[in-house]
Amino acid sequence: MTPRKSHVELYKKHHKHFIAIDCIIFGFDEGELKLLLIKRNFEPAKGQWSLMGGFLDENESLDEAGYRILYNLTGLKDIYMSQLHSHGEVNRDPGARVISISYFALINIQNHDEELVKENDAHWRPISKIPPLIFDHRHMVDLALEQLRKEAKIKPVGFELLPSKFTLPQLQSLYEAIYSKTLDKRNFRKNILSMGMLEKLDEKEKENSKKGAFYYRFNEDKYKELTARGFYFNIAI
Amino acid sequence: MTPRKSHVELYKKHHKHFIAIDCIIFGFDEGELKLLLIKRNFEPAKGQWSLMGGFLDENESLDEAGYRILYNLTGLKDIYMSQLHSHGEVNRDPGARVISISYFALINIQNHDEELVKENDAHWRPISKIPPLIFDHRHMVDLALEQLRKEAKIKPVGFELLPSKFTLPQLQSLYEAIYSKTLDKRNFRKNILSMGMLEKLDEKEKENSKKGAFYYRFNEDKYKELTARGFYFNIAI
DNA sequence: CCAAAAGTGTTCGCCGTACACCCATGA
DNA sequence: TCATGGGTGTACGGCGAACACTTTTGG
């Protein structure tokens, strides 16, 4: 007899609940922070906009469910993702009592599987133009944005939203999008370069200017080494 | 027919889960940060130490469940409490698949109902001497401490752990306990008083010294007013 | 009168912030 | 050659950090 069965009677008297996972998926493109949203072609709330979600299965952890749902929509694995909050208002979902656990993910918008996204009727929407969302999904989005703004200051999470090679103007533009604020070029560069975790490449990006801007790469190992020495990532905003 | 029934069939195919709420309850006494822990006189894991917990009922929100559990143990309402994290490893509870949502609470250790606490076989334990805990409760405690340390720097949550009248040496001792660090008396006072949210009372506390230390009170209204003007609470640690 | 805790100001260095001009190049 | 975006350095003020002596009073 497994230990799992030994006390099952003690739990039996309690209620069980549906548990959903909803994903707030951020991307960055054309100088704007964007969210991947679903135009629902299924019930409930068919025809309305919502976050990508799904139900927690019997034999998967919460994190596994989050990654599964993200993978099913984007074809991406090994993505920066973290749990945000659990939402348990009794009537948050008019279809049934469902507890939802929100996750937020940062992805490089170039990498996702466009076919899968199309199949799911998912669309990138700039955060300045988010359509009305079902249930409490808008609240989840607001929490996620708040969290992103907290984290981007003190952890190198911004790089998750960019290609592995990026230019400093791109990086600055990303931070400006996250904080809806223009930043001083000289101060921004001084700040980020002084941390010593960016590698300058020999190559230039020439799409956006005649002069061209040097590519940089985030050096994960360097960052870990610095962290181990008591260093803290910090961008002045 | 209520909308609640309209889509219930769509959900039916999914699994339901037990949801538990576990509370990390902090108090401050004798210069030490303490946790309220249960010596379990019930199954499962009878005789072992754990956090206070309970199951989510059918018609209560997560927050309501958290407050119910806290109230049942301490007799306290209107307590500072916030959701921490959801824990969903498949085998985290060997008795059954249970998703647990942790909450952390800050209480004034003088105010709790000692009878109730005794009935539940609950005990205050300094954070430096936490006994082994069941399941992943130790992990929850570690997360809560981390969260407390983050919050106490930037929000006036420390006062929740003190009586409404307190002295500056008491307050400093609290911060020293939270961060396991001795602080400079002059800098600490300058810092906290310059924010202008503490009211000095005419009364002195004379238990701890011959000279006596003036009582202060946290002025909630003042704090809200300052916050509305764009002020941010900040203690240099 | 003395031990023990409360209370009080100043100096220094660094970091965040403001700010303006030259460079490279494709059209 | 000129328009466009990329790239660079310096000066100032404020805040966090370090630091030592006086005051009060019960025993």
* pLDDT, tens digit, 9 for 90 and up, residues B130-139: 999 999 999 9
| Percentage with pLDDT > 90 across chain B | 91
Judge whether residue B206 contacts strand D, using its CB and a 7 Å cut-off.
yes
B172 part of a folded domain: yes
Query: Using CA atoms, how far apart are residues A152 and A74, in angstroms rounded to an integer?
Result: 23
pLDDT score, position A224: 95
Distance from A7 to chain B by nearest Cα, in Å? 5
- Same domain as B171, residue B98: no
Of A6, A62, A85, the CB nearest to B83: A85
Query: CA of A92, closest CA in chain B: separation in Å?
Result: 10
User: Of the residues A126, A153, A180, which one is the last residue of a structural domain?
Assistant: A153
Quote the pLDDT of residue B5.
46
Closest CA to B98 of B109, B110, B106, B87: B87
Domain boundary, last residue among B105, B120, B153: B153
Q: How many CB atoms lie within 10 A of CB A60?
A: 16
Residue A10's pLDDT band (cuts 50, 70, 90): confident
Whole-number Å distance between alpha carbons of B206 and B225? 32
Average pLDDT, stretch B224-230? Answer: 92
Give residue B2's pLDDT: 39
Residue A6 lies inside a defined structural domain of this protein: no
The answer to whether residue A234 is domain-embedded is no
Residue A137 belongs to domain with CATH number: 3.90.79.10
Q: Do A130 and A108 reside in the same domain of the chain?
A: yes
Report yes or no on B202 lying in a domain. Answer: yes
**What pLDDT sits at residue A12?**
82
* Separation in Å: D12 C1' and A191 CA: 18
Residues B178 and B215 in one domain: yes
Q: Give the C-alpha distances (Å, rounded to integers) separating A161 from A67, A138, A158, A213, A225.
A: 17, 21, 6, 19, 22
Q: What percent of chain A has pLDDT over 90?
A: 91
Distance A202 CA to D3 C1' (A): 26
pLDDT level of residue A23 (50, 70, 90 thresholds):
very high
Q: How far apart are CA A49 and CA A122, in angstroms?
A: 9
Residue A236 domain-assigned (yes or no): no
Q: How far is the CA of B183 from the C1' of C2 (A)?
A: 27
pLDDT of residue B4: 45
Distance, in Å, from the CA atom of A14 to the CA atom of A237, rounded to the nearest integer, reads 48
Q: What are the phi and psi torsion angles at B85 (to 5°)?
A: -165, 160
* pLDDT value at residue B118: 94
Are residues B195 and B141 part of one domain?
no
DSSP SS3 for A228 = helix
* pLDDT above 90: residue A9: no
Q: Decide: B44 and B94 in contact? Cβ < 8 Å.
A: yes
The mean pLDDT value for A154-164 works out to 97
Point out the domain boundary residue: A99, A119, A153: A153
Residues B195 and B79 in one domain: no
Which residues of chain A between 145 and 174 are close to nucleic strand D, CB under 7 A?
167-169
The arithmetic mean of pLDDT across residues A7-20, rounded, is 86
| Torsion sign over Cα A60, A62, A68, A69 | positive
Whether CB of B204 is under 7 Å from strand D: the answer is: no
Residue B9, domain member (yes or no): no
In angstroms, how far is C8 C1' from B187 CA?
A: 11
Q: Is the CB of A12 under 7 A from strand C?
A: no
Chain A residues with CB within 8 Å of chain B CB: 3-4, 6-8, 10-11, 14-19, 43-44, 55-63, 65, 83, 85-90, 94-99, 101
CATH number for the domain that contains residue A213: 1.10.10.10
pLDDT of residue B76: 96
Give residue A175's domain range.
Answer: 162-228
Closest to A55 measured CA to CA, from B198, B10, B191: B10
What's the pLDDT tens digit per position in A26-64?
A: 999 999 999 999 999 887 788 999 999 999 999 999 999
Report the 3 state secondary structure along chain B: CCHHHHCHHHHHCCCEEEEEEEEEEEEEECCEEEEEEEECCCCCCCCCEECEEEECCCCCCHHHHHHHHHHHHHCCCCCEEEEEEEECCCCCCCCCCEEEEEEEEECCCCCCCHHHHHHCCEEEEEHHHCCCECCCHHHHHHHHHHHHHHHHHHCCCHHHHCCCEEEHHHHHHHHHHHHCCCCCHHHHHHHHHHCCCEEEEEEEECCCCCCCEEEEEECHHHHHHHHHCCCCCCCCC
- CA count, 13 A, side-chain hemisphere, B203: 9
Residue B97 CB in 7 A reach of strand D: no
Q: What is the pTM of this model?
A: 0.94
Contacts for A86 with CB less than 8 Å, ≥ 6 apart = A99, A100, A101, A102, B62, B83, B86, B101
**Predicted pLDDT of residue A53:** 97
Mean per-residue pLDDT over chain B, rounded = 94
Are B203 and B108 part of one and the same domain? Answer: no
pLDDT in tens, B78-132: 999 999 999 999 999 998 999 999 999 999 999 999 999 999 999 999 999 999 9
> What's the burial of B36, exposed, middle or buried (CB within 10 Å: 0-12/13-18/19+)?
buried
Q: What is the pLDDT of residue A1?
A: 35
* pLDDT at residue number B41: 85
Q: Smallest CA–CA separation between A29 and chain B, in Å?
A: 31
Do the Cβ atoms of B17 and A60 come within 8 Å? no
The per-residue pLDDT for A187 is 98
Q: A2 pLDDT exceeds 50?
A: no
Asked if the model's pLDDT at residue B3 lies above 50, the reply is: no
Nucleotide nearest to A169 (CA to C1'): D6
Phi/psi region, residue A226 (left: phi>0; alpha: psi -120 to 50; beta: rest), is: alpha
What domain count does chain A have?
Answer: 2
Looking at every residue in chain A, the average pLDDT score rounds to 94
C-alpha–C-alpha distance, residues A126 and B118, integer Å: 55
